[in-house]
Amino acid sequence: MVLTPRLQRRILMYSYVFKKLGILSEQEFSQITNFTPRIEKQ
């Protein structure tokens, strides 16, 4: 799966919303946000 910048923003947006709703735990959220910037640098 190729993560385009647009897709990354969507993932971050959804994960932020899910965290707000209490679906994602703080730990899961930080894993997602730590994961996405790494792809951008490649």
Per-residue model confidence (pLDDT) at position 22: 83
What is the Cα 42 distance to its own chain's centre? 17
Domain segments of the chain: what residues? 5-35
Nearest by Cα to 15 from 33, 1, 27: 33
Going residue by residue through the chain, which has 42 residues, state the pLDDT in tens, using 9 for 90 and above. 677 889 888 988 888 888 888 887 888 878 877 766 555 554
Do 40 and 5 meet the contact criterion of CB atoms below 8 Å apart? yes
Distance in angstroms (rounded) separating the CA atoms of residues 20 and 26: 10
Distance in angstroms (rounded) separating the CA atoms of residues 20 and 25: 9
Per-residue model confidence (pLDDT) at position 42: 46
Token pair of 40, please? 């951008």
